[in-house]
Amino acid sequence: MTVSDTPMHLTQGAHVGISVSDLDASIAFYSALTGREPVARGTMDSEPFGRTQGLPNAKLRYATINIDGLGIDLIQFQDPVGERTNGKANRPGSMHLCFKADDFDAVYQRMKDAGYDFLGDDYTFTSGEVTPEAALGTKVAYFNDPDGTNLEIIEPQGGFAN
């Protein structure tokens, strides 16, 4: 794909869409994680919409949970049903959704106590590992949703990870 280097000025996110295998289970997971209930739920069955995504059809169920400044669209495709990606952080094309935590240590402990399974230990950026130096002290931890979508909690330092 060749793309022009002309700036498009897309500087504000609207939502992130996450394909899920069980909408009800994902609603429960993300509602517990965010403390928010869906603001919208619905169904769709549209060949034209499917074609916008390179699919022959788009029969789906969805729900949207809004967090401050971003919507999380949970989408269960019923036709065609997709295969699980089993995304890993180092695979090109994979992505993760990051949630800010004002008190990382307290949130991390509450999540551990509630049974969230972190992929590894929590981590604090140290000198010599990260630039800019303003990121020093930033704390992160990674976990997955029920379908393996990579998620992160972060307590940024020095303007890092707006």
The tens digit of pLDDT for each residue in 54-83 reads 999 999 999 999 999 999 999 999 999 988
Which domains are delineated in the chain?
14-80 (3.10.180.10), 95-162 (3.10.180.10)
For the whole prediction, is pTM greater than 0.75? yes
pLDDT digits (tens, 9 = 90+) for 105-117: 999 999 999 999 9
156 has pLDDT over 70: yes
Show the beta-strand stretches assigned E in the chain. Answer: 15-19, 40-45, 59-67, 70-79, 96-100, 123-124, 139-144, 150-155
Q: What is the mean pLDDT of residues 36-55?
A: 94
pLDDT tier at 162, thresholds 50, 70, 90: low
Count helices and strands (H / E) in the chain.
3, 8
